[in-house]
Amino acid sequence: MTDKKATLSVEDKNLDYAVISGSIGPQVIDIRKLYAQTGMFTYDPGFTSTASCDSALTYIDGDQGILLHRGYPIDQLAEQSSFMEVAYLLLNGELPDGDTLSDFTRTITRHTMLHEQLATFYRGFRRDAHPMAIMCGVVGALSAFYHDSTDISDPVQRKIASHRLIAKMPTIAAMAYKYSVGQPFVYPRNDLSYTANFLRMTFSVPAEDYIPDPVIVDAMDKIFILHADHEQNASTSTVRLAGSSGANPFACIAAGIACLWGPAHGGANEAALNMLREIGTPDRIPEYIARAKNKDDPFRLMGFGHRVYKNFDPRAKVMQKTATDVLDKLGVKDPIFDVARELEQIALQDDYFIEKKLYPNVDFYSGVILSAIGFPTDMFTVLFALARTVGWVAQWNEMISDPDQRIGRPRQLYTGPDVRDYVPLDKR
Ligand code: CMC
């Protein structure tokens, strides 16, 4: 709370509303009493000016291109930390010491196996099902398997559910891939790191083991860190809203996965690589830039633009460097990477993109890396979901442990017909 007040004049009344400060970032006007006092709602479709909650997890300054998790800048975490450490940080608020990190990693490792019955659940899907459809189904189905972790008022049960979700997501994701290519499922191995284990479960076959390359493991771990959390984005808000009714956490995460799938959100990494492939060669870039600028053409430059970042996306910088490292290491000469770099240069100098503050986002380069590692495009958003599960469960925990938490229930501006009498069928 500050001494500041915001005054709203409605007809002949002046109403004062408290202005609340966070630790950093824009202040908010507390309008919770507005409806009771005026009979009016605020109108903010797309929530461009609405803080839906308070949160101590992640801070974004979109004008400066800053992203902090619990105060730590994303580039420092990506360069110096590990995904397990970031997961601990997001869940618990502080970086772990060595023993705590080992304990946490051990706990996650011990939860990576799935109930064997779940393996049969996969077989209900068509082989050509999109892996995000499988993710929605399988993660939702976990709620049927873990009744003991559905008492969400118990912090211990919440913690176990969170650990299970973080631990099982790589197994579920790898199995979705294996199912789509018709290969047998590969079980997790406890002697490997979280990320190496995931890569092995994805790429190993009974006839030939996959030995994870440390450069690839490191790149994948960075990609997971870069996707771990991102404040109140659409899928996180979905998880919070679903969770606000007291729903089962596994079902809430399935709701988040469904939201993430869309091309305006997590689905953009798949769409961005498909777009780069469609462009194919640098000489065709101007044609696509012209289409992106044409109001009558629904085409957008995928992997460009962001609701919050209006300067640059700090995750995209790390991603671009990681793409160079991975392609160099693998000796891959992917023409798509040349198209991406050239497209970035051309777009950054174009008045349309400058005026609208459109910059490459996290999804622009991630597809180039994932494709070089060997993932098919339809797996890209699955990897995003795997990493974002950490943010989703941390945000869900934060919300449920807040004693003032209430069900999320937005209101609306009604534009339908006024009251009218029912007309019987024979009179219409
Ligand atoms: N290509 C061409 N024009 C664009 C683009 C783009 N990628 N993004 C925004 N614009 C234009 C848009 O047409 C609009 O123009 P006008 O003011 O003339 O109507 C203006 O820029 C503002 O766009 P908006 O759609 O009102 O902005 P938004 O904040 O609602 O949308 C966005 C943000 C990320 C959905 C959008 O930039 C977009 O669709 N980008 C492509 C998809 C993408 O890369 N998404 C990944 C986002 S980052 C990861 C994640 O969140 O999951």
What is the Cα–Cα distance from 341 to 144, expressed in whole angstroms? Answer: 46
Which residue's CA is the closest to the ligand 1 atom numbered 4?
300
Catalytic residue among 218, 221, 229, 363: 363
pLDDT at 311: 86
Asked whether residue 87 carries a pLDDT value surpassing 90, the answer given is yes
Q: What is the DSSP string of 296-333?
A: T-----TTB--SS-SS--HHHHHHHHHHHHHHHHHT--
pLDDT at 249: 96
Q: Known catalytic residue: 154?
A: no
| DSSP secondary structure letter of residue 284 | G
Classify residue 234 as exposed, middle or buried by CB count within 10 Å of its CB (0-12, 13-18, 19+): middle
> Mind listing the pLDDT tens digit for each residue in 318-360?
998 898 888 888 888 888 888 998 999 999 999 999 999 999 9
pTM above 0.95, yes or no: no
Cα dihedral: 63, 65, 68, 73 (round 10): -140
> Mind listing the pLDDT tens digit for each residue in 358-413?
999 988 989 889 999 999 999 999 999 999 999 999 999 999 999 989 999 999 99
Confidence of residue 1 (pLDDT cuts 50, 70, 90): low
> Mind listing the pLDDT tens digit for each residue in 195-236?
999 999 999 999 999 999 999 999 999 999 999 999 999 999
**Average of pLDDT values for 124-132?**
94
What is the Cα–Cα distance from 29 to 319, expressed in whole angstroms? Answer: 36
What are the CA-CA distances from residue 85 to residues 2, 184, 383, 406 (Å)? 35, 31, 18, 31
Ligand 1 contacts CB of residue 292 (under 6 A): yes
Among 48, 50, 261, 300, the mutation site with the greatest number of ligand 1 atoms within 8 A of its Cβ is 300
Ligand 1 contacts CB of residue 306 (under 6 A): yes
Cα–ligand 1 centroid distance for 119 (angstroms): 39
Classify residue 211 as exposed, middle or buried by CB count within 10 Å of its CB (0-12, 13-18, 19+): exposed
> Mind listing the pLDDT tens digit for each residue in 23-81?
999 999 999 999 999 999 999 999 999 999 999 999 999 999 999 999 999 999 999 99
Using DSSP, state whether 401 is helix, strand or coil.
coil
Residue 380's closest CA among 319, 427, 330, 333? 319
Cα–ligand 1 centroid distance for 304 (angstroms): 7
CA 186 to chain CA mean position, Å:
26
Asked whether residue 150 carries a pLDDT value surpassing 80, the answer given is no
Q: What is the DSSP string of 7-49?
A: EEEETTEEEEEEEE--SSS--EE--TTHHHHHS-----GGGTT
pLDDT at 250: 96
Which residue's CA is the closest to the ligand 1 atom numbered 18?
295
The mean predicted confidence, pLDDT, of the chain is 94
Cα–ligand 1 centroid distance for 364 (angstroms): 13
Q: What angle do CA 390, 148, 159 make, to 5 degrees?
A: 30
Catalytic residue among 163, 221, 306, 378: 306
Task: Find the helix or strand (DSSP H, E) in which 6 lies.
Answer: strand 5-10
The type of residue at 346 is I
What is the Cα–Cα distance from 166 to 391, expressed in whole angstroms? Answer: 10
Q: What is the distance in angstroms between the CA of the first residue and the CA of the last residue of the chain?
A: 58
Cα–ligand 1 centroid distance for 367 (angstroms): 18
b/e sequence 342-358, b meaning 16+ C-beta within 10 Å: ebbeebeebeebeeeeb
Ligand 1 contacts CB of residue 299 (under 6 A): no
> Mind listing the pLDDT tens digit for each residue in 252-262?
999 999 999 99
Which residue's CA is the closest to the ligand 1 atom numbered 36?
305
Ligand 1 contacts CB of residue 361 (under 6 A): yes
Ligand 1 contacts CB of residue 358 (under 6 A): yes
pLDDT at 332: 81
Which residue's CA is the closest to the ligand 1 atom numbered 8?
305
What is the Cα–Cα distance from 193 to 258, expressed in whole angstroms? Answer: 28
Ligand 1 contacts CB of residue 363 (under 6 A): yes
12 vs 249, more confident: 249
Cα–ligand 1 centroid distance for 359 (angstroms): 10
Confidence of residue 149 (pLDDT cuts 50, 70, 90): low
Confidence of residue 174 (pLDDT cuts 50, 70, 90): very high
Which residue's CA is the closest to the ligand 1 atom numbered 50?
265
Share of residues in the chain with pLDDT > 90 (%):
86
Confidence of residue 423 (pLDDT cuts 50, 70, 90): very high
Q: Known catalytic residue: 306?
A: yes
Asked whether residue 148 carries a pLDDT value surpassing 80, the answer given is no
